[in-house]
Structure 1
Amino acid sequence: MITGEAVAIDLRVARLGSRLVAGLIDLLAQLYILYILGALVVLVVRPDDDALVATTFLLIYVTMVLGYPVACETLSRGRTLGKMALGLRVVRDDGGPIRFRHALTRGLIGAIIERPGMLLGLPAIISMIASRRSKRLGDVFAGTVVLQVSVPRTVGAAPFVPPPLLGWAALLDLTGLDDGLALRARQFLSRSHALSPQALDRLGRGLVDEVRAVVTPPPPPGTPGWAYLSAVLAERTRRAYARLAGQRRS
């Protein structure tokens, strides 16, 4: 993504799965609000005036379908309750915060084209699948994109040796790999889940070169950087445990 200041940044685009979950949360919130407002209408409006009751409920429904997302995204700069729960945010195509006109366009397209009647959001799903940046029709017309701005904190998987590298890893000379470099490599792998594949390759390239400068022999041709670092760290850990076990036996 290129910002308005011509600065390139790496941000993860929210995909179909997370957006569907966020949409389900928003739907539940809308139904809850609709229920509360409907109960108030029954108490305030005369039940025997069917036309007035129907008109009031229609206004409430339109307010929920259109007013809820527009108000939330305008006041919270691109977030609804569902997006907050999933760590998503709507931004302009240049990465800037959206304004009322963007939220209104997204809301109108959603209410008129994407979700009415039996469509059940099918046009939005098809659009997101076909779009490289997972844009629904509302995003296309409003010039916006939904980003995954926060990634759930997870415990990184322990480094392991990929099966094709088992024989090579057993031959490694790790005497030049100090604790500081090994720690940086481990920290890089632990946060790799939060990086796009392009950013992962670019940021890890320098670290891979540092490790290759002190560890021999070099990896087989075509070995991905993450696999190389994982194999080196896993083999280093295995040897450390083996030395510890040997000391205990002696």
Structure 2
Amino acid sequence: MLAHLSILLWLPDMEVSRTRMLLLRGIAFTLDIALIAGLVALLYLPTRQVLAAILPAALYFPLCEWLLRGFTPGKWICRIRVIAPNGEPPHLTQVLIRSAFRLVETNPFLLGGLPAAVVFIWSRQAQRMGDMWAFTFVIPVSDLARIRQRIAEMEDAPPPQPES
């Protein structure tokens, strides 16, 4: 478990600033929303079925982040990725928790992405609420190798000796 907490030590050393990371996440989200809108238009307009409008919007983020191992098309373009504390892609439960919180944090009827941005800015680890509850992190892909190396080093280190 100690090695998994190593990500908390890494975050202050991110290659990108918090501001740039917020911008990258915003761009990725906007690209993903554009893809969802396109899917809804393709499926809903010809059929006029309500499910054809709801399903792509509801399933896009959890399916992409789970099947694409921490990526969505928007995240892939922006070269950012969701990871679990061990540096691996998130588990399905983590993805579902993130997606449930996204409904509130980025709801266009509830101030859009403002709640997510505010929490991200105030968060010590540059996370939105869904990341905190799912215990996930969004990182630049360029930092992934370094983070995994740091976790491996911590796992190989001998346990601390109790003081006598």
Which structure 1 residue ranges, 5 or more long, are not aligned? 43-55, 152-194, 196-250
Alignment of 1:148-227 (within 5 A): 148-150=140-142
Could you tell me whether the CA contact under 8 Å between 1:102 and 1:143 is conserved in 2?
A: yes
Q: Secondary structure at the match of 1:118?
A: coil
Q: How far apart in 1 are the matches of 2:67 and 2:27?
A: 21
- Which of residues 98, 109, 114 is equivalent to 1:122? 114
Which residue of structure 2 lines up, in the alignment, with residue 231 of structure 1? none
CA deviation string 1:101-143 (max 9, x = no partner): 11111111111x2122132011101111101221011101100
Q: CA RMSD in A?
A: 2.6
Distance 1:34 1:147 in 2: 29
TM-score by length of 1: 0.49
1:134 is paired with a residue of what secondary structure? coil
Q: Deviations over 1:27-60 (max 9, x none)?
A: 1111111100112314xxxxxxxxxxxxx32x33
Counterparts of 1:21 and 1:5, CA distance in 2: 28
Deviates more, 1:79-88 or 1:118-127: 118-127
The alpha-carbon deviation at position 62 of structure 1 amounts to: 3.2
Q: Does 1:141 align with 2:140?
A: no
Structure 2, unmatched stretches of 5+, are 147-164
**Using CA pairs below 8 Å that are at least 6 residues apart, which structure has the higher relative contact order?**
2
Paired residues in the alignment total 136
8 A contact 1:106–1:139 mirrored in 2: yes
Partner of 2:124: 132
Equivalent residue number for residue 156 of structure 1: none
* Closer/same/farther in 2, CA of residues 97 and 12 from structure 1, 3 Å limit: farther
Larger Cα-atom Rg: 1
Who is 1:86 aligned against? 78
Distance 1:109-1:40 versus aligned 2 partners, 3 A rule: same
TM-score normalised by structure 2 residue count: 0.72
Q: Is the 8 A contact 1:114 1:123 kept in 2?
A: yes
Do 1:3 and 1:96's aligned partners in 2 also have CA atoms closer than 8 Å?
A: no
Distance 1:20 1:102 in 2: 20
2:36 maps to 1:30: yes
Letter in 2 for 1:135: Q
- Closer, same or farther: CA 146–6 of 1 in aligned 2, 3 Å: closer
Q: Which amino acid aligns with 2:24?
A: S
Alpha-carbon distance in structure 2 between the residues aligned to 1:101 and 1:33: 25
% of aligned pairs identical? 29
> Which stretches of structure 1, 4 residues or longer, exceed 3 Å deviation after superposition?
2-14
> Is 2:93 the counterpart of 1:101?
yes
SS of the equivalent of 2:81 reads strand
Q: Secondary structure at the match of 1:67?
A: helix
